Amino acid sequence: MEEQLFFEKLNSLCTSKEIFYFLSSLEVMSDTMASGALQRISEVEMDDNGLKNPRLLENEVFRALCLQFEFESSKLSNTGLLNALQALIKLRIDPQSTLMVNLLSESEERLGKGQLTAENLCALGESLLELKGPNCAVLEQIVKRMQEKDIEKWSPREIVMVYKILQVTVREGKQCQHLLNKLNSVTLRTVSQLSPNFTSVILNSLVVLRQTQAVPLITALCKHSVKHVPYFTDHELVDVLEAFLYFGQKVQIFTQALETHVPKSLLTMHPQTVSKIMQYCCKNRVLSKPIFDAVAEGFVSNADRLTTDQIAACITPFGTLNYLPPSASSLFRKLETVLHTRLRHFQPHTLLNLLHSCVLIQKYPINFLPKVFSPYFLQKLQAQPPGLNRAVMSQLTQLFLTVTLECPFYEGPRLLSKYQVKAFPTPHSFPDVHLFKRVKTGLLYLLKKRIYFASEVSTPYFYVLDIEIKLDEEGFVLPAAQLEEVHKRIALCVDGRNRFCAHSCSLLGEEAIKQRHLQLLGYEVVQIPFFEIESLENTRKMADYLHKKIFPCTYG
């Protein structure tokens, strides 16, 4: 009861002066109370910049506390010993001092004798990680001792500590997979009790330990993280987003939580957190207008404090997901200003990705294309990973084609033919197989013979057509193989879900630019989107739909 009253009083004090005055009034104090006092001092006197008042280390009461721990370390309780060690590490007491050496030596001796509880082991693990880093050999000994304990009875804090130690000592989980399997199983039952910090730490550990097989735990943690979105620190939110990306988790209510949180908090968020949120949206094809609009407005006011990688991470998703925010004019004016002042600081591949994403949404970086098409810049692209691979050359070719078709006033250098590709390979360029088959069956029903349309047709302009239909001057359909008397070419774009943003009818940027370019090249583009044909019940209805879509003048 005396200790309970002591800690209630101690935790109500907010300055070291108040704490020292309170301690001076006590006649007797247990080691647990003394270590608790050190912990409270570390809480009120430490901030992000270190010790607020270095003179407190010279205080008589503080020195008396330290002397007690220094000379009586062997008589301390486990809790008193390890709590004092944690507090003194936080106060940045010299690790080489007699005080710290004695406490560490006593802790490691008790570890070797198996005298520490699971809670004690966790406290020692935290201290050693903070003091000696991940290469501390004693951490592996702590893990071995933890395995001797009843894992079923571990608290969330103990579970988190073991994950943290395994993360830095094992890296890939193969060496301790048996322990990890038990740990993952026990953690699954405690997910609902986890704080924001514990949730992010465990998810980060699962990524580092490559626990892709722990699907039930990963799914539960990702769903549990939804309610913590407003309470994650920037660092914690980045770790959670990394886990979502690594494990391919797509939880719509998590995105909705971000949509609520980000617009309110964006101006106080670290730029790296904003970049990671945009990366999450981009990779999952999530076009969240509340997030994108907030990021666009934030970029205009904060772009100067972003790194070049962060600039690219914030801007590229606008092109990838084919979205122009309401503040687009000021957004791209700011981007142009930033590029003019910091162009030489961008890595070649980062700059190419950024400029390519701009042309997807018809924002033409004319002033910077002479640099991109210069032999010197192309050599730099070649020299840095991934070099001039097919994807990079496709981006260069599309930039060149955009300049040719959409910017006839451009008079700078052009892309040499050796850097151009014959076709654009993109993850979403191939049509949905099931949808494609249904459309071809419907066309065969409509046109009667397979010779009247061709599928997956390569063009001289780098694009591949899903389906091409040729018409003569009077509008009659010609055989697909015929080359003479072709008056009109119809390009059918069979757009499955993979060509749209998730849960949306908005085309991705790479498909939008393709259809735009095909029109400029003289094709009549007919879009066949999944949401118009998925509900068609049979081939006759599909043929009727295609007739109306492709030949509206003769329909009915």
Q: Say whether both 310 and 328 belong to one domain.
A: yes
pTM: 0.86
Is 321 within the bounds of a domain?
A: yes
- End-of-domain residue from the set 115, 139, 160: 115
Is 427 within the bounds of a domain?
A: no
User: What does the alpha-carbon distance between residue 204 and residue 213 come to, in Å, rounded to a whole number?
Assistant: 15
Structure tokens that stand for 162 in this block: 């073991």
Q: Say whether both 100 and 211 belong to one domain.
A: no
Q: What is the amino acid identity at position 79?
A: T
Q: Say whether both 180 and 225 belong to one domain.
A: yes
Q: Say whether both 210 and 264 belong to one domain.
A: no
Domain that holds residue 485: 433-554
Is 136 within the bounds of a domain?
A: no
Q: Say whether both 237 and 255 belong to one domain.
A: no
Could you tell me what percentage of the chain is helix, strand and coil, using 3-state DSSP and rounding each to the nearest 5?
65, 5, 30
Structure tokens that stand for 208 in this block: 């580092």
- End-of-domain residue from the set 229, 249, 269: 249
Q: Say whether both 263 and 397 belong to one domain.
A: yes
**Closest by alpha carbon to 327, among 289, 285, 271?**
289
Q: Say whether both 515 and 456 belong to one domain.
A: yes
Is 122 within the bounds of a domain?
A: no
CATH assignment at residue 439: 3.40.960
**Closest by alpha carbon to 224, among 256, 200, 259, 258?**
200
Distance of CA 319 to the CA centre of its chain: 18
Distances (CA, A) of 251 to 152, 204, 213, 540: 29, 17, 18, 38
Please check whether residue 467 is in contact with residue 455, taking contact to mean a CB–CB distance below 8 angstroms: yes
Q: Say whether both 175 and 264 belong to one domain.
A: no
Q: Say whether both 374 and 475 belong to one domain.
A: no
Is 124 within the bounds of a domain?
A: no
Dihedrals φ, ψ of 475, to 5°?
90, 10
Q: Say whether both 214 and 180 belong to one domain.
A: yes
**Chain position carrying tokens 């001797």:** 148
- CB-facing half-sphere around the CA of 268: CA atoms within 13 A: 5
Q: Say whether both 76 and 104 belong to one domain.
A: yes
User: 3-state class of 50 per DSSP?
Assistant: strand
End-to-end CA distance of the chain: 91
The number of distinct structural domains making up the chain is 4
Q: What is the amino acid identity at position 526?
A: V
**pLDDT tens string for the chain (556 positions)?**
588 889 999 999 988 889 989 999 888 888 999 999 999 999 988 887 788 888 888 889 999 989 989 988 899 999 999 999 999 999 989 999 999 999 999 999 999 999 998 889 888 988 998 888 888 888 888 888 887 888 888 889 889 988 988 888 776 556 678 889 999 999 999 999 999 999 999 999 999 999 999 999 999 999 999 999 999 999 999 999 999 999 999 889 999 999 999 999 999 999 999 999 999 999 999 999 999 999 999 999 999 999 999 999 999 999 999 999 999 999 999 999 999 999 999 999 999 999 999 999 999 999 999 999 999 999 999 999 999 999 999 999 999 999 999 998 999 999 999 999 887 766 666 788 999 999 999 999 999 999 999 999 988 888 999 999 999 999 999 999 999 999 999 999 999 999 999 999 999 999 999 999 999 999 999 999 999 999 998 999 999 999 999 999 887 6
User: What does the alpha-carbon distance between residue 471 and residue 209 come to, in Å, rounded to a whole number?
Assistant: 59
Q: Say whether both 109 and 239 belong to one domain.
A: no
Is 177 within the bounds of a domain?
A: yes
User: What does the alpha-carbon distance between residue 350 and residue 347 come to, in Å, rounded to a whole number?
Assistant: 5
Is 131 within the bounds of a domain?
A: no
Is 190 within the bounds of a domain?
A: yes
User: What does the alpha-carbon distance between residue 509 and residue 359 come to, in Å, rounded to a whole number?
Assistant: 9
- End-of-domain residue from the set 115, 140, 165: 115
